[in-house]
Structure 1
């Protein structure tokens, strides 16, 4: 599986209801999309959940690269380019994906990055233990990128825990598109 995410930074005075309306009107288009396990339509809002800016940062988890390739090169990503300009797409490999039966009830995503430091043995590295753990997860996805030696964990929750570490980013989920077999 592959993960894909791009970040659209928006002005501090941007009306985030424009993004919510855009997702409400178009989010259904990725429901059941070829090879897509799920797409989380994620936003950050200035001064909410410690965020310093407004942003639209969707996260895709692809079961196969063919669907991801079709999404990028056969017109779907063109809507992003026309609306927000040229965006770098971050691509990673899934290390683990754990989703509960009520994953679709998630309302928040916590995003935490860690660096994989140089070592002479990766075999005994337990990546999952490098991250914070939260109770009542609806899902957890860990993604790694060996060309940067970085990992990111996305924790899907229906409520925010107290005392979240400062380096953990908090996103609101506006919509979750999923593989029809998960619904």
Structure 2
């Protein structure tokens, strides 16, 4: 799941940094949350493919009850009061690869690509899953791949310790301010 806010070019992004610093730990251990990456991008920052200032957290849930619990809860109500009512994108997850050092993520990349009508979805899924495994073997801390059958798109989301080398033009790169993880136990 991901929602995002495009912020004005003159927006003080230190406000987003502070929000992440203070509110990020509040979702640590949230029910059914595999992880939440608190993401931001600054217009024209070196190494980022952003032409806008963005605040766009990405969530991986292990059950629909987690999405409902968050979207129906006080945290989302506060977010919408502060920033407006976002479109929330969701994908059916094809595959997840998570390495042991997820909390060390400092960068993220997200690519959303169209799925051509009448595509062989099983073949696309197999390729995406193999790509996810390979990406983690080559340095990503986590990779999530999935698809949205309402808009026929595929998502590839990765977390990194360093900015991804030579991201494609259709890839959004973000800074990661905090990663919320399940409760230890």
User: Given the two structures, how large is their TM-score scaled by the length of structure 2?
Assistant: 0.89
The answer for the alignment partner of 1:178 in structure 2 is 181
The answer for the alignment partner of 2:150 in structure 1 is 147
Q: State which drifts further: 111-120 or 126-135.
A: 126-135
Cα deviation digits, residues 16-48 of structure 1 (max 9, x gap) = 110111111111110000111110000010111
The answer for the alignment partner of 1:84 in structure 2 is 83
Is the Cα–Cα contact under 8 Å of residues 114 and 131 in structure 1 kept in the other structure?
no
Greater helix proportion: 2
Q: Distance in 1 between matches of 2:20 and 2:60?
A: 18
Q: How many residues align?
A: 179
Determine if the alignment matches structure 1 residue 50 to structure 2 residue 49. yes
Is the Cα–Cα contact under 8 Å of residues 142 and 153 in structure 1 kept in the other structure?
yes
Greater strand proportion: 1
Q: Distance in 1 between matches of 2:142 and 2:78?
A: 28
Give the 3 Å change call, closer, same or farther, for CA 47–131 of structure 1 in structure 2.
farther
Q: Which of 151, 156, 161 is the equivalent residue of 2:159?
A: 156
Q: Secondary structure at the match of 1:76?
A: helix
Gaps of 5+ in 1: none
Runs of 4+ in 1 over 6 A off after TM superposition: 129-133
Is the Cα–Cα contact under 8 Å of residues 41 and 59 in structure 1 kept in the other structure?
yes
The answer for the alignment partner of 2:11 in structure 1 is 14
Return the offset for 1:95.
1.0
TM alignment of 1:1-183, pairs within 5 A: 4-48=1-45, 49-119=48-118, 121-125=120-124, 126-128=126-128, 134=135, 135-181=138-184
Return the offset for 1:110.
0.9
Is the Cα–Cα contact under 8 Å of residues 112 and 131 in structure 1 kept in the other structure?
no
Gaps of 5+ in 2: none
Cα deviation digits, residues 74-115 of structure 1 (max 9, x gap) = 322101111011111111111111100012111111111222
Return the offset for 1:129.
7.1
